[in-house]
Amino acid sequence: MFQSQAPTWSDMPRTYGLTGPISEDLPEEENLIQTRKLLDTMKSYNVYENNLELEHRERVVKRLESLFRDWLKEMCIEMNVPKVVTEKVGGKIFPFGSYHLGVHSKGADIDALCVGPGFLERKAFFTSFFAKLKAQKEVKDIQAIEKAYVPVITLSWEGIQIDLVFALLPQRSVPDNLDLLNNSIVKNVVDARCVRSFNGYRVTEEILRLVPNVLNFKVALRAIKLWAKQRNIYSNKLGFLGGVSWAIMVARICQVYPNATASTLVIKFFKIFSMWVWPIPIRLIEVEKCTYNLPFWDTKVNRCDRYHLMPIITPAYPQQNTSVSVSRSTFAILNEEIHRGHAICLEIEQKKAKWSELFEPTDFFKKYQHYAVLEASYTTEEKRLEWIGLVESKIRLLVSALERNEPVSLAHVHPHAFPGLRTANKKDGQSTMWLIGLVLNVKYSERCKKNLERSFKTFTNIINSLARSSNIYDEGMSLSVACLRREDLIYEPQQKALQTSETEPPRLVSPVSADKQGTTKRKLLHRSETPSKKFKDDKSLPVDQPHNVPSGGHVDGPSAFAKPAVSLTAPRQTT
């Protein structure tokens, strides 16, 4: 089922993407052996679902679509729509993202697009359909986030997390054979929120269409996703890269190595992107120029697009940058991890290392001398999801503020939330925490402390103001940020035989409560607080050379973030 395949020449067009292939060499026996070893390693991390779990997902999606169709008919009756329209109204749900790509892992969520007829109002989806979903006994933790850039209903259905987006088709019915890849679909859509909702599915479909061998692409992408999660760099929300970005990057490697096995694709992934000259964008295709008056990514048209550090462009109109959230700090961390991966892959090729070394988890608690600890507290469950969601969605603001702070060279946010501190004086309520590792360019002093506290206070004021204006704030909610030294962090390591991409983070506890509870205190290694060495760009790779994009980008002046940072002396150690 998981064997890599080489496409036959008769089935292949001459080129995929914007350029010709770097190599069309057919795989050798050693490449196939390495792919089998890669697959065996990934299976040991328990990332594949079994048939029962896959069937369960399919049933949930079908049940959701049935519920959605029923709701559309109910709305037609409520609106006194003619019977003939009601009978043919249809309605369809299109899964997209990792589930539709076929690369989802155990416990992963499902992204799905709900398409309804144009005579409905968007508001009805987030009120009437929301109420219908909430009434289902299988549904838990449901939340409507209508003011998001892409409005979404999030819920858990029989243990599966689902994100539902909604788009209105400018016609009276939604046929089963609807082709969403046709650009005319978005031509008459006047609501930009619908266009953005459509594009989740359109981008996923285009990616699958633009790779020479879908099976090899899927195996390679699974490997890169596992690596990114293990190294704590898988999160679009917090300024790293999300699933779409990683998929586009892997797809580009597939295009320039059309006959390569999955293991070769992974090795070439790290080689090419360790030498990539950012901000040259990664693109899979020249997107058709449409005059539909929709905003799209273009450095010639939009001045702000020129300042994106790591542009990874979607292959469907209107094209967007999937990595717009990447900051100076996350840019440096991503490049450092890619260089680490490249160093390990070189040793794998030389048979000096195993694939498991690529997937070794990073120990965030050994990485920095100082940490900013963000804690959001609440006393009731009623608005917990909204409160925690609001705080997490704005953490990038705190990271940006810290990057602008004079003493801070780098701010590294951990992509997972932690259960809150268990303190002796906290009798009521619960909390959620996030950690940001800090690299300071000065000695931690009273002046440094005051500079950080100003950034912390500004951030908490912004969040509290947003919570009140959005009617999220509730009695007992609080938000605090503090800077702690590494030795002041005490945590309970998870005693698990196998670290997987879905492993829960350790629980953090306060020093006071730890003494009382007998918690194991981890002795952490010393690490200097100097930024990693910068590497020298190799511009010899003949892939996607600049197209009217200035070399070096628009990073403000020379800094530790102007070039990717990497430790060259110990490439395989967690840094």
Q: The CATH number of the domain where 268 resides is what?
A: 1.10.1410.10
416 neighbors 369 (Cβ within 8 angstroms): no
User: For tokens 């002093």, what's the residue?
Assistant: 445
Instruction: Say yes or no: 129 and 253 in one domain.
Output: no
Q: According to the model, what pLDDT value does residue 187 have?
A: 78
Q: According to the model, what pLDDT value does residue 461 have?
A: 95
402 neighbors 396 (Cβ within 8 angstroms): no
**Number of structural domains found in the chain:** 3
Report the pLDDT averaged over residues 44-50: 91
Instruction: Say yes or no: 354 and 427 in one domain.
Output: no
- Decide if 174 is inside a domain: yes
Q: According to the model, what pLDDT value does residue 498 have?
A: 30
Percent of residues, the chain, with pLDDT higher than 90: 60
Work out the burial of residue 290: count CB atoms within 10 Å of its CB; fewer than 13 is exposed, 13-18 middle, 19 or more buried: middle
Instruction: Say yes or no: 249 and 336 in one domain.
Output: yes
Question: Would the annotation count 132 as a binding residue?
Answer: no
Report the pLDDT averaged over residues 227-244: 95
pLDDT bucket at 529, cuts 50 / 70 / 90: very low
Q: According to the model, what pLDDT value does residue 432 have?
A: 93
Q: According to the model, what pLDDT value does residue 284 have?
A: 95
Report the pLDDT averaged over residues 1-16: 53
In the structure encoding, which two tokens stand for residue 175, read together? 């046929």
**Among 92, 111, 263, 409, which one carries the catalytic annotation?**
111
**Among 163, 325, 329, 367, which one carries the catalytic annotation?**
163
536-553 burial code (b ≥16 CB/10 A, e <16): eeeeebebbeeeebeeeb
Instruction: Say yes or no: 266 and 192 in one domain.
Output: no
Instruction: Say yes or no: 172 and 215 in one domain.
Output: no
| CA angle 84–88–89, rounded 5-degree value | 110
pLDDT bucket at 428, cuts 50 / 70 / 90: low
Say whether the peptide bond before residue 258 is cis (omega within 30 degrees of 0): no
In the structure encoding, which two tokens stand for residue 156, read together? 């858990």
Give the span between the Cα atoms of 242 and 229, in whole angstroms.
10
pLDDT tens-digit series, residues 157-174: 999 999 999 999 988 999
| CA angle 43–47–51, rounded 5-degree value | 90
**Structural domain ending residue among the three candidates 307, 334, 358:** 358
Q: According to the model, what pLDDT value does residue 340 have?
A: 98
Q: According to the model, what pLDDT value does residue 523 have?
A: 35
Instruction: Say yes or no: 238 and 301 in one domain.
Output: yes
Instruction: Say yes or no: 383 and 403 in one domain.
Output: yes
- pLDDT higher than threshold 70 for residue 311: yes
236 neighbors 148 (Cβ within 8 angstroms): no
Contacts of 405 (CB under 8 A, 6+ apart): 451, 452, 455
- Decide if 188 is inside a domain: yes
Instruction: Say yes or no: 408 and 511 in one domain.
Output: yes
CATH of the domain at 114: 3.30.460.10
Q: According to the model, what pLDDT value does residue 67 have?
A: 97
- Decide if 534 is inside a domain: no
Beta bridge partners of 459: none
513 neighbors 247 (Cβ within 8 angstroms): no
Beta bridge partners of 463: none
Instruction: Say yes or no: 103 and 155 in one domain.
Output: yes
Between the alpha carbon of residue 427 and those of residues 268, 373, 519, the distances in Å are 54, 20, 19
Q: According to the model, what pLDDT value does residue 490 have?
A: 66
Provide the domain limits for residue 249: 210-358
- Decide if 531 is inside a domain: no
Which of 7-11, 236-240, 345-349, 559-563 shows the lowest mean pLDDT across its residues?
559-563
Instruction: Say yes or no: 384 and 458 in one domain.
Output: yes
**Structural domain ending residue among the three candidates 182, 201, 220:** 201
The H or E element containing residue 388 is helix 384-393
Active site residue 234: yes
Give the span between the Cα atoms of 535 and 183, in whole angstroms.
42
Question: Would the annotation count 243 as a binding residue?
Answer: yes
Q: Is 152 in a helix, a strand, or coil?
A: strand
**Among 25, 109, 363, 474, which one carries the catalytic annotation?**
109
- Decide if 320 is inside a domain: yes
pLDDT tens-digit series, residues 54-85: 999 999 999 999 999 999 999 999 999 899 99
Question: Would the annotation count 455 as a binding residue?
Answer: no
Percent of residues, the chain, with pLDDT higher than 70: 80
Which of 44-48, 447-451, 490-494, 529-533 shows the lowest mean pLDDT across its residues?
529-533
**Structural domain ending residue among the three candidates 358, 392, 412:** 358
Of 48, 57, 58, 71, nearest to 1 by C-alpha is: 48
**Among 4, 98, 377, 510, which one carries the catalytic annotation?**
98
Report the pLDDT averaged over residues 205-212: 96
- pLDDT higher than threshold 80 for residue 454: yes
- pLDDT higher than threshold 50 for residue 99: yes
416 neighbors 505 (Cβ within 8 angstroms): yes
Give the span between the Cα atoms of 285 and 305, in whole angstroms.
18
- pLDDT higher than threshold 80 for residue 570: no
- Decide if 553 is inside a domain: no
**What DSSP character marks residue 118?**
T
Active site residue 111: yes
Query: If you average pLDDT over every residue of the chain, what do you get?
Result: 82
- Decide if 141 is inside a domain: yes
Of 504, 257, 225, nearest to 359 by C-alpha is: 225
At residue 183, φ and ψ (nearest 5 deg) are -60, -20
Question: Would the annotation count 109 as a binding residue?
Answer: yes
The H or E element containing residue 478 is strand 478-485
Name which residue leads in pLDDT, 514 or 370. Answer: 370
Question: Would the annotation count 456 as a binding residue?
Answer: no
Alpha carbon 470 to its chain centroid, in Å, reads 25
Instruction: Say yes or no: 104 and 196 in one domain.
Output: yes
Between the alpha carbon of residue 297 and those of residues 150, 194, 327, 553, the distances in Å are 17, 18, 18, 16
Question: Would the annotation count 515 as a binding residue?
Answer: no
Give the span between the Cα atoms of 213 and 335, in whole angstroms.
27
CATH of the domain at 445: 3.30.70.590
- Decide if 179 is inside a domain: yes
**Among 45, 201, 234, 257, which one carries the catalytic annotation?**
234
Question: Would the annotation count 163 as a binding residue?
Answer: yes
- pLDDT higher than threshold 80 for residue 423: no
The per-residue DSSP string of 32-92 comes to HHHHHHHHHHHHHTT-S--HHHHHHHHHHHHHHHHHHHHHHHHHHHHTT--HHHHHT-B-E
Active site residue 109: yes
- pLDDT higher than threshold 50 for residue 518: no
**Among 218, 225, 229, 563, which one carries the catalytic annotation?**
225
Active site residue 163: yes
Handedness of CA 439, 440, 443, 445 (dihedral sign): negative
pLDDT bucket at 4, cuts 50 / 70 / 90: low
Of 257, 252, 186, nearest to 221 by C-alpha is: 252
pLDDT tens-digit series, residues 176-207: 889 998 888 887 787 889 999 999 999 999 99
Of 25, 42, 6, nearest to 261 by C-alpha is: 6
Q: According to the model, what pLDDT value does residue 487 have?
A: 86
**What DSSP character marks residue 312?**
B
Return the number of other C-beta atoms located less than 10 Å from residue 391's C-beta.
24
Q: According to the model, what pLDDT value does residue 532 have?
A: 33
Alpha carbon 435 to its chain centroid, in Å, reads 18
